[in-house]
């Protein structure tokens, strides 16, 4: 069985003191990394301080990365720099990078290849918007397949197992639209099938695919129970210690639907 991932994306929240306090409070309460993979993505300015105090079972990841080693790229941070801090995980292609900074799947591909070349683990976000989503999911499948083809171009077969996919449909973020876990499970099953066609069945069964989209304490269990969903990427609901530990507690006790 694939190991469950609980990942918290803090986005542009928490100053240094708040972040340190949070990590100190949860460090001793994180389950063994052999059972659950627990990752926090803070602001880039906090990486150095938090990596130094991360416990054995907690990992600190970068919210963003640039694909060049160095050069005239004001405001960016290189994979070499991120790696030197001791960071192991990098978030790539988050919907907010597309909405606010004009990034696209071609840039995501460059970031993915660069992250892998530095032996870090990328969490690659993919997902469709309102227009690309449909009830029968045919349009959704077409869009996600195309997205995967672009982002995974030139990825070596042996690297696939080191990639984590986060299915993050923008229509599901902060929406009143009902999100049905078994429908999300089917979409992720289709994503896994696309990976098998691009690479191999064996690799598609190894790769972990998590879900992110309005995750809360009331619905997390129903998503984690699904066979194809290997974890959750949590946004604002990862900012409180009690909430984050509750998600971990759910993951520890989860019984998968087969």
Distance CA 46, CA 23 (A): 12
Q: Is residue 202 part of a domain?
A: yes
- Domains of the chain: total: 1
pLDDT score recorded for residue 68: 97
Q: 151-172 in b/e burial notation, b at 16+ Cβ within 10 A? A: bbeebeeebbebbbbbbbbbbb
pLDDT score recorded for residue 192: 98
| Phi, psi angle pair for 87, to nearest 5° | -75, 140
pLDDT score recorded for residue 258: 56
Q: Is residue 43 part of a domain?
A: yes
pLDDT score recorded for residue 256: 76
Q: Which domain holds residue 144?
A: 4-63+128-252
pLDDT score recorded for residue 135: 60
The single residue of 103, 128, 159, 168 carrying the catalytic annotation is 168
Q: Is residue 113 part of a domain?
A: no
pLDDT score recorded for residue 53: 96
Q: Is residue 240 part of a domain?
A: yes
Distance CA 28, CA 84 (A): 25
CATH value at residue 202: 3.20.20.70
The single residue of 37, 94, 128, 228 carrying the catalytic annotation is 94
Distance CA 152, CA 81 (A): 24
Q: Is 94 marked active-site?
A: yes
Q: Is residue 92 part of a domain?
A: no
pLDDT tens digits for the chain (258 residues)? 899 999 999 999 999 999 999 999 999 999 999 889 999 999 999 999 999 999 899 999 999 999 999 999 999 999 999 999 999 999 999 999 999 999 999 999 999 999 999 999 999 999 987 665 666 567 889 999 999 999 999 999 999 999 999 999 988 776 666 789 999 999 999 999 999 999 999 999 999 999 998 899 999 999 999 999 999 999 999 999 999 999 999 999 987 765
Q: Is 168 marked active-site?
A: yes
Q: Is residue 72 part of a domain?
A: no
Q: Is residue 181 part of a domain?
A: yes
| Phi, psi angle pair for 243, to nearest 5° | -65, -45
């Amino acid at each position: 069985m694939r190991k469950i991932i609980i990942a918290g994306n803090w986005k542009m929240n928490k100053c240094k003191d708040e972040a340190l306090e949070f990590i100190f409070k949860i460090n001793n309460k994180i389950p063994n990394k052999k059972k659950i993979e627990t990752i926090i993505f803070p602001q880039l300015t906090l990486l150095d301080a938090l990596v130094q105090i991360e416990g054995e079972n907690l990992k600190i990841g970068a919210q963003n990365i640039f694909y060049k080693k160095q050069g005239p790229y004001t405001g960016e941070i290189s994979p070499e720099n991120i790696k030197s801090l001791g960071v192991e995980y990098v978030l790539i292609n988050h919907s907010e990078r597309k909405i606010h900074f004009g990034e696209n799947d071609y840039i995501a591909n460059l970031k993915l290849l660069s992250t892998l070349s530095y032996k870090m683990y990328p969490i690659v976000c993919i997902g469709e918007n309102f227009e690309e989503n449909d009830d029968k999911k045919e349009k959704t499948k077409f869009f996600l397949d195309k997205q995967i083809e672009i982002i995974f171009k030139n990825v070596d077969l042996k690297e696939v197992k080191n990639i984590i996919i986060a299915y993050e449909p923008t229509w599901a973020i902060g929406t009143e639209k009902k999100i049905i876990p078994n429908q999300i499970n089917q979409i992720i099953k289709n994503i896994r099938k696309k990976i098998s066609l691009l690479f191999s069945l064996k690799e598609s069964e190894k790769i972990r695919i998590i879900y992110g989209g309005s995750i809360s304490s009331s619905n997390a269990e129903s998503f984690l129970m699904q066979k194809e969903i290997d974890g959750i990427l949590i946004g604002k609901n990862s900012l409180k210690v009690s909430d984050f530990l509750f998600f971990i507690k759910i993951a520890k006790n989860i019984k998968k639907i087969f």
